[in-house]
């Protein structure tokens, strides 16, 4: 068991930022999505206005942008001057909801009538320490605060309904981006995912504290990355508690172990502790960024998305509540789940990574009602340090640091037979495992080069974002191997979509998904191979068009 807390880890270890993984002393860490050598990101406005038009839109909004179809009809360049993402506070519209959802309103009360003011972070003298839900000593306070929240009228800015609607509005196309009525605000599937949710939980916690008159009140986190936390914490399952929610998958009640790699059905096999830890190792130490401009970071896809889908009630049209983003925050477990996602961001930083310096990222901003009912605007750059926001996480062991995946077969014995080789682009159909060969521009790079740049496998995908979807990626795996088992190093990562709200004409969307493979290829003894076999294993949900799979080299050094 690894006993170093993230911070002591930092203090005792020189972290090599881009070199092959030898955790815990050498983490593979990505610079987050700047200077990507993905050719799509290298287009400059001078070179090609049309391309930059499409790309800038994607860059700014991730999945919130226009559909591929709509984008083609776009007639002027809204990004002539680059602006960071910000909701247009003059306007909030009814959300677009996934098919079958009951109509709801999501805009904050009196939003149109209020001016937002720049938020000034109070000078916190005492840190609120967030503790794991399975060992949480403030339960009575939390229950009391949520009970009060739930008793407030729906149109009160602090009511439970309003808290959940904040999330609905930011992911349901209720806001558009500042100055661009045609571009929806979307806080998922891009690099604003972590900072937005940090601010969201911050105000949730501040409001709860205000309601019980305890400014030091701290919410718990669901510690699903440690064996003790790998079932739904009992604080959320007591039916008489305000923290209970009935719309959850009935097969996943305690003591059922969470499956961080959930594949949409419990029939074949469920996860085990070792698998969950291996997944955490891969996702949390991966060089694929925690967030990227054009797509989700590793932690957003897994376990963030998989946990949403594992909790959601599959008898509901879109796995409501947790299984659909518009409804997820109605379930109190949402805030426990996201507190652990937020904690992962803190842990990631304790490994020596720096914040993204791109002004589009730094200045991205959001508006919330604070605990004093002021409509306040906050920005990403103020969210980088939890201590500045007056809170921290209880330091715990990170058992996944010892759970590094290992190769399933030794390379000498590896027998890669490609039964069905597909050329790009292709449609990944349900139930059809396919493989393709990807040529590597460089092999056997020197250690210096590897320390400087991470080799990444970049997928360009097109799919319907209102539908659930998961596929796994295997590298150099043998074709007749049926299970994509995350314990093994050949399992490189997963793409997961949680149902998003979208109007029917904007349901089709495009995103990129990248996986760092420098260390993986070394561990598979394949660094001298000129091409690799990439196998895609559809697990559940809709079809996805794989438009391209390329290799890019991303800067590793932090700014």
Residue ranges in contact with ligand C2O by CB under 6 A: 167, 171, 187-188, 197, 304, 308, 325, 328, 338
Residue 143 vs 338, nearer CB to ligand C2O: 338
DSSP run (H or E) holding 492: strand 491-497
Minimal distance in Å, beta carbon 328 to ligand C2O?
6
Residue 20 vs 62, nearer CB to ligand C2O: 62
CA distance 525 to 444: 11
Minimal distance in Å, beta carbon 457 to ligand C2O?
25
Do 133 and 229 form a contact (C-beta atoms < 8 A)?
yes
Residue 197 vs 293, nearer CB to ligand C2O: 197
Minimal distance in Å, beta carbon 327 to ligand C2O?
11
- Residue 268: CB partners within 8 Å, gap ≥ 6? none
Q: Are strands 531-541 and 469-475 parallel, antiparallel or unpaired?
A: antiparallel
Residue 20 vs 323, nearer CB to ligand C2O: 323
Minimal distance in Å, beta carbon 94 to ligand C2O?
19
Residue 222 vs 488, nearer CB to ligand C2O: 222
Neighbouring C-beta atoms of residue 1, cutoff 10 Å? 9
Token duo for residue 34: 């700047």
Counting every residue, how long is the chain? Answer: 559
Residue 9 vs 326, nearer CB to ligand C2O: 326
CA distance 130 to 390: 11
Minimal distance in Å, beta carbon 437 to ligand C2O?
35
SS3 content of the chain, % helix, strand, coil (to 5): 30, 20, 50
Distances (CA, A) of 364 to 131, 192, 370, 475, 556: 29, 8, 18, 36, 23
CA distance 445 to 453: 10
Token duo for residue 195: 């900072």
Residue 325 vs 364, nearer CB to ligand C2O: 325
Minimal distance in Å, beta carbon 291 to ligand C2O?
13
Minimal distance in Å, beta carbon 9 to ligand C2O?
26
CA distance 259 to 208: 30
Minimal distance in Å, beta carbon 190 to ligand C2O?
12
Residue 197 vs 282, nearer CB to ligand C2O: 197
DSSP string for 353-383: ------HHHHT-EEEEE-TTS-EEEEEGGGS
Residue 132 vs 195, nearer CB to ligand C2O: 195
Minimal distance in Å, beta carbon 167 to ligand C2O?
6
CA distance 456 to 520: 10
Closest C-alpha to 211, from 425, 373, 377, 415: 373
């Amino acid at each position: 068991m690894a006993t170093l807390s993230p911070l002591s880890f930092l203090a005792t270890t020189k972290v090599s930022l881009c070199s092959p993984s030898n955790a815990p002393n050498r983490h593979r860490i990505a610079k987050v999505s700047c200077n990507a050598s993905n050719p799509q990101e290298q287009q400059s406005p001078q070179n090609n206005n049309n391309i930059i038009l499409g790309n800038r839109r994607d860059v700014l909004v991730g999945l919130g942008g226009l559909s591929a179809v709509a984008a083609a009809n776009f007639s002027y360049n809204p990004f002539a001057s680059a602006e960071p993402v910000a909701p247009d506070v003059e306007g909030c519209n009814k959300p677009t909801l996934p098919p079958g959802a009951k109509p709801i309103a999501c805009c904050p009360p009196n939003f149109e009538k209020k001016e937002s003011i720049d938020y000034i972070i109070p000078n916190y003298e005492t840190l609120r320490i967030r503790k794991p839900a399975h060992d949480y000593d403030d339960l009575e306070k939390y229950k009391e605060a949520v009970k009060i929240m739930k008793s407030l009228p729906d149109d009160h800015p602090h009511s439970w309904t309003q808290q959940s609607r904040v999330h609905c509005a930011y992911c349901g196309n209720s806001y558009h981006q500042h100055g661009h009525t045609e571009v929806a605000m979307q806080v998922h599937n891009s690099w604003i995912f972590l900072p937005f949710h940090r601010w969201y939980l911050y105000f949730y916690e501040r409001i709860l504290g205000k309601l019980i008159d305890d400014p030091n009140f701290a919410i718990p986190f669901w510690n699903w990355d440690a064996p003790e936390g790998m079932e739904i914490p009992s604080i959320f399952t007591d039916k008489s508690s305000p923290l209970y929610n009935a719309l959850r998958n009935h097969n996943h009640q305690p003591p059922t172990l969470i499956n961080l790699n959930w594949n949409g059905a419990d029939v074949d096999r469920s996860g085990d502790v070792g698998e969950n830890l291996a997944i955490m190792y891969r996702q949390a130490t991966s060089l694929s960024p925690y967030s990227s401009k054009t797509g989700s970071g590793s932690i957003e896809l897994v376990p963030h998305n998989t946990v949403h889908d594992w909790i959601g009630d599959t008898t509901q049209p879109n796995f409501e509540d947790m299984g659909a983003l518009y409804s997820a925050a109605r379930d109190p477990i949402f805030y426990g789940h996201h507190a652990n996602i937020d904690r992962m961001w803190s842990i990631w930083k304790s490994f020596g990574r720096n914040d993204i310096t791109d002004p589009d990222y730094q200045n991205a901003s959001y508006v919330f009602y604070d605990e004093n009912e002021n409509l306040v605007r906050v920005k990403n750059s103020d969210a980088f340090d939890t201590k500045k926001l007056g809170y921290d996480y209880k330091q715990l062991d990170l058992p996944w640091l010892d759970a590094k995946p290992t190769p399933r077969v030794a390379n000498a014995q590896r027998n890669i037979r490609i039964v069905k080789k597909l050329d790009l682009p292709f449609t990944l159909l349900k139930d059809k495992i396919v493989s393709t060969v990807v040529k590597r521009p460089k092999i056997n790079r020197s250690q210096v080069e590897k320390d400087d740049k991470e080799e990444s496998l970049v997928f360009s995908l097109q799919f319907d974002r209102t539908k659930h979807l998961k596929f796994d990626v295997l590298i150099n795996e043998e074709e007749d191997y049926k299970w994509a088992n995350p314990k093994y190093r050949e399992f490189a990562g997963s793409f997961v979509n949680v149902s998003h709200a979208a109007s029917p004409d904007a349901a089709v969307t495009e995103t990129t998904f990248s996986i760092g493979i420098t260390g993986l290829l070394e561990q598979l003894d394949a660094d001298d191979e000129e091409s690799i076999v990439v196998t895609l294993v559809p697990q559940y949900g809709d079809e996805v068009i794989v438009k391209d799979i390329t290799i890019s080299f991303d800067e590793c050094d932090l700014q």
